[in-house]
Amino acid sequence: MTQPPVAVTVDLVLMTVADGRLAVLLQRRSAEPFVGCPALPGGFVQPHETLDDAARRVLIEKAGFAAGDGAWLEQLYTFGDPQRDPRMRTVSVAYFALLPHARLAEAVAARTDLSLAPVGEADAPLAFDHALIVRTAHERLRGKLGYAPVALALLPERFALRDLQTVHEAISGTRFKKPAFRRRMLDTGWIEPTGQRETASAFRPAELYRKRHHAPGEADGITPATE
């Protein structure tokens, strides 16, 4: 029995918080199908590559990251609707990562085909099933906020608790009461005080915190999908 051809791709959902809103990195397609449409950075997996190697290559080639400047990536889900790609049957393994805004803004500034768009608010419909992939990544992130320190990936080495609260609110779409949020974050064991305060602030300088080394629930490198 002859098996029909099936291709495997990887797509990257690279997210950050910009102006208090969750945003995703998009790339304008330069070829058919969906030429000119925004899409997630992605590409075909080559015969000699593992999925993780392909994801790292796309991060460098398509997302504009220099070699050795890799991000923490987590496998999100496998998308295999037979109609997702008009060219042929393709199965996409999606990865997602959270990155500080400065890193993604630098990538956008270096390439004319990259842009940052608020999640769910791109200027045009996304190519393929990429809107579904972005929604799935957003749902995964919301679910992880309560048990893993994923939001810390969006913050500098030292940060104020209000900055951490802004990130949590952007991902969850929920406003939190400051005292309750502060207590909950301190109780997690994910962060620790630095003994320092802000040097420039229009208000009373806030105490600065940092991520605790090997915070509970933290993952390094590329993490396999759990679904």
pLDDT digits (tens, 9 = 90+) for 128-161: 999 999 999 999 999 999 899 999 999 999 999 9
Q: What amino acid occupies position 128?
A: F
- As a whole number, the mean pLDDT across the chain is 90
* Whole-structure pTM value: 0.90
pLDDT digits (tens, 9 = 90+) for 7-37: 999 999 999 999 999 999 999 999 999 999 9
Domains belonging to the chain, first-starting first, are 7-145 (3.90.79.10), 150-211 (1.10.10.10)
- Angle subtended at Cα 143 by Cα 138 and Cα 145, rounded to the nearest 5 degrees: 95
User: Is residue 227 over pLDDT 50?
Assistant: no
Tokens of 78: 């496998």
Torsion of CA 209, 215, 220, 226, to 10 degrees: -120
Give the pLDDT confidence score for residue 133 in this predicted structure: 98
User: Rounded to the nearest 5°, which phi and psi values hold at 19?
Assistant: 55, 40
- Do β-strands 222-223 and 73-79 pair in parallel, antiparallel, or remain unpaired? parallel
**Residue 158 contacts by C-beta under 8 Å, 6 or more apart in sequence?**
194, 196, 208, 209, 210
